[in-house]
Amino acid sequence: MASIKRRADGVWRARYRDPAGKEHARHFSRKVDAQRWLDEVTSTVVTGTYTDPALSRVTVGEWGRRWLDGHAALKPSTRGRYESLMRCHIEPRWGTTSIRAVNVADVESWLADMMARGLAASSVRQAYRVLSLILEHAVRAGRLPRNPAGGASLPRAHPRDKRFLSHAEVQRLTTAAGDYRLVVEMLAFTGLRFGELAALRVGRVDLLRRRLEIAESVTEVNGATVFGTPKTHHRRSVPIPRSLIDELAQVVAGRAPGELLFTSPEGGILRVGNFRKRVFDRAALRGGPARAHPARAPAHRGQPRGVRRSERQSRPTPPRACLGRDDPGRLLRAVRRRPGCRR
């Protein structure tokens, strides 16, 4: 039911009842404006896209926190990334804005501003994706008729050319890594992600069948290490190259199945930053292959069990651009795609 009436003071009052029977009203100085508003509202009721205006007053910041809290199944690393994007890019611009006030023009202006501040196109696209997920959740909850950020023009990401390492290049890198050689070889010739290698336990190394059972991964979230499932949430079996069997046999000998295969010198979990700073960057400078050209491949870093020498001395800063990413394993795992890599 909808109607328009003129009050004694000359103001036009438009009112309607929503599908739940709740009455809503607005006042206008002109009848034509009241009729236009009423037509728009009643059309959404007829088409089934009606949403209660009171529900859409919630801010993007508040609804974003509800959205994130409701995703208990997110991997810790994904949750940490979403929290960072919300804290750094979404809440400063949209935190106090009601979800109904978001529009595609303002979203595109926000994207352009992030690009102008030097943020990478991939990061801009990630921030947009989180905002869009928040608003899409509001649509599913009946707070918005549609996603107001949908259809925004996104910056195009320009991936770097991939460079794959040869067997000889990996050999030079592993030699330069010294006591960390086996970890580097495992990353290069098994294709494991660093978190998977760091979480690999002795009992999941089957030397007779030459298989690794990949069932866990470990990530760092806000400085803390968190164990979880692999990136795909699926266990898998990975072949062990014959050339690594003898060395692995020495590492697993006499150890309990539940122990981590590789640990830090102090016996703790392998930390991603330690290996990159203390081992891989230095190895790349001394004789590794990552000097000449950028590379992109999956990520791993690590510190093997039993290292005795000190890594505390100062080191020159390596040419990060030549590594493609700060993730040495991204470079290493690509070697498996080259002809002649050992099995």
- ∠ CA 327-329-333, nearest 5°, is 140
Report the pLDDT value the prediction gives residue 293, as an integer from 0 to 100: 31
CA–CA distances in Å: residue 343 to residues 67, 148, 297, 338: 46, 52, 19, 12
Percent of all residues in the chain with a pLDDT value above 90, rounded to a whole number: 43
The CATH code for residues 167-337 is 1.10.443
Residue 13 pLDDT greater than 60, yes or no: yes
**57-140 topology per CATH:** DNA polymerase; domain 1 (1.10.150)
Enumerate residues 6+ apart whose C-beta is below 8 A from 105. none
pLDDT class for 323, splitting at 50, 70, 90?
very low
Please indicate, yes or no, whether the overall pTM of this predicted structure exceeds 0.75: no
The shares of helix, strand and coil residues in the chain, as percent rounded to the nearest 5, are 45, 10, 40
Encode pLDDT of 49-108 as tens digits: 777 777 788 999 999 999 999 887 788 888 889 999 999 999 999 999 999 999 999 999
Domain ranges of the chain: 2-50, 57-140, 167-337
CA distance 237 to 232: 13
Q: Phi and psi of 178, rounded to 5°? A: 60, -125
Average per-residue pLDDT in the chain? Answer: 81
pLDDT class for 18, splitting at 50, 70, 90?
confident
Quick one: CA dihedral 68, 74, 76, 81, positive or negative? Answer: negative
Encode pLDDT of 190-249 as tens digits: 989 988 999 999 999 999 999 999 999 988 887 788 888 887 778 899 999 999 999 999
316 or 92: which leads in pLDDT: 92
140 or 165: which leads in pLDDT: 140
Which pair of structure tokens corresponds to residue 202? 């002795």
